[in-house]
Structure 1
């Protein structure tokens, strides 16, 4: 899909202000409402815009503890990776899980209520992994920056 300069402006604005009305968005990108609305729908249909969400304070929901876990499997195969994927995909406390290259296999990000919940989650993960595994954990002491906003080069030339 070709993403032109106006699409990029739309994406940049919507990442920061997803609840903005189409009328306001259209004004800010220099379009009338109908063409702007069609562009947004086209970006949604193409999967460029994957959805809209609220950014919620984890502490307000009793989940102030942020933990990253490196998981190293003793054996690697497509079948093992698929089993791990299935197990971790449906664990609501796991916010992100990435199969990575390097010294370990998975990087897991979890939001939890307390260290006791972290112990329970880690035990559950290690029980459900189909092969022996080792873990290294990193408890976040201070969150410096967390963002889902991707840099958009709004000055990119139109195609």
Structure 2
């Protein structure tokens, strides 16, 4: 069962301000608080609404470097993907892990306080990850657009 127009209206207002109380969310979505609560619970049960989160600006906390690593794995070992992903999850500076079909198998998004710190992470934690056949680093220069909300 898909979300209807009322659900999408509720989700639009929730995306705009996830911290707002349900009473305010209901008012903005033009429904009663009880209806908003029921609909939110139904959206959670159906897996459409997975929760709310705090988005922290890690740059404001002194993490100045972001690098996207494109990694090709040695696919001669059938355990390469699982072994690599399990090890990569343990690197605290890896913010994001994505897998792909094609020449590049995995992308890691890595942050560091500065270039010296990045070199330490790269040498001690990234290059020691198992099953790497090739690695390409792309230095993040600027964020032009980041989609935090859906066009509901």
Does TM-score exceed 0.5, indicating one fold?
Answer: yes
Residue 31 of structure 1 corresponds to which residue in structure 2?
A: 31
Which deviations, in whole Å up to 9, do the C-alpha atoms of 1:79-99 show, x marking residues without a partner? Answer: 211111211223221111111
Shift in alpha-carbon separation, 1:76–1:113, aligned structure 2, 3 A? farther
Q: Please report the RMSD computed on the Cα atoms of aligned residues, expressed in angstroms.
A: 1.8
Q: 1:149 is paired with a residue of what secondary structure?
A: coil
Q: 1:59 is paired with a residue of what secondary structure?
A: coil
Q: After the TM superposition, which residues 78-93 of structure 1 pair with which residues of structure 2 at under 5 Å, given as runs?
A: 78-93=78-93
Residue 107 of structure 2 corresponds to which residue in structure 1?
A: 107
Residue 17 of structure 2 corresponds to which residue in structure 1?
A: 17
Shift in alpha-carbon separation, 1:20–1:78, aligned structure 2, 3 A? farther
- Structure having the higher helix fraction is 1
- What TM-score does the superposition give when structure 1 sets the normalisation length? 0.84
Q: 2:63 is paired with a residue of what secondary structure?
A: coil
- Long gaps (5+) in structure 2: none
CA distance in 2 between partners of 1:81 and 1:7 (Å): 38
Q: Is the CA contact (8 Å cut-off) linking 1:74 and 1:133 kept in structure 2?
A: yes
- Long gaps (5+) in structure 1: 153-159
Which deviations, in whole Å up to 9, do the C-alpha atoms of 1:89-126 show, x marking residues without a partner? Answer: 23221111111122211111122211222223223122
Q: CA deviation at 1:22?
A: 0.7
CA distance in 2 between partners of 1:73 and 1:20 (Å): 44
Residue 148 of structure 1 corresponds to which residue in structure 2?
A: 148
Residue 42 of structure 1 corresponds to which residue in structure 2?
A: 42
Shift in alpha-carbon separation, 1:78–1:3, aligned structure 2, 3 A? farther
Q: Is the CA contact (8 Å cut-off) linking 2:93 and 2:110 kept in structure 1?
A: yes
